[in-house]
Structure 1
Amino acid sequence: MKLRIGDNVKVNTGSNKGKTGKIQKVVEDKRKVVVEGINVYKKHTRKNMGGGIVEKTFPLDVSKVSLVCPKCNQTARIGLTIGSDGKKIRTCRKCKQPLN
């Protein structure tokens, strides 16, 4: 998966369509990401568990989000290029600039 913690992403589908946020957690095996402030639901807990209403952020599928490039500030796909030292570098497909 090419998305990393700290990347800014924009939601493409669903009730949160158009919202942007920063990735807090990546679940590789299920291909899901947890985005800060998006897909937040309120969960009512019982008194024996401390009680009250707790807000919980649920993960989104990777196919529902797209990366926002920090250089060109547009949503773009991520490409991989091989650097001179042989390491893979993530790049923006629109502006061809390397991502951090």
Structure 2
Amino acid sequence: MTTLAVKINIPKANNLNVTEDTLTVELDDGRTISVPLAWYPRLQEASVGERNNWRLIGGGQGMHWRDIDEDISVQGIISGTPSGESQNSFKRWLESRQAC
């Protein structure tokens, strides 16, 4: 029996935009991918200023939002994987924001 191994090249992010309901990522292979902001509760709860304070990490393999401690990978977006943060963790994060 033979097994076929397929190497998948994950493109890098060049730029992104976060709106009230969508995260849109421009990739270096020419694609633009949009996903619902509801996939990332911390981004959804963030202020406009916090959403706009991002940087590319890993040479474009992902994005990081320092103000809300959120990291999202290009691979996760392409594969359709929403945030894996537990409800308890998100609840603690929300409570810590309200305490400030």
Structure with greater strand share of residues: 1
On whether the aligned pair clears a TM of 0.5, the verdict is no
Q: Structure 1-normalised TM-score?
A: 0.24
Structure with greater helix share of residues: 2
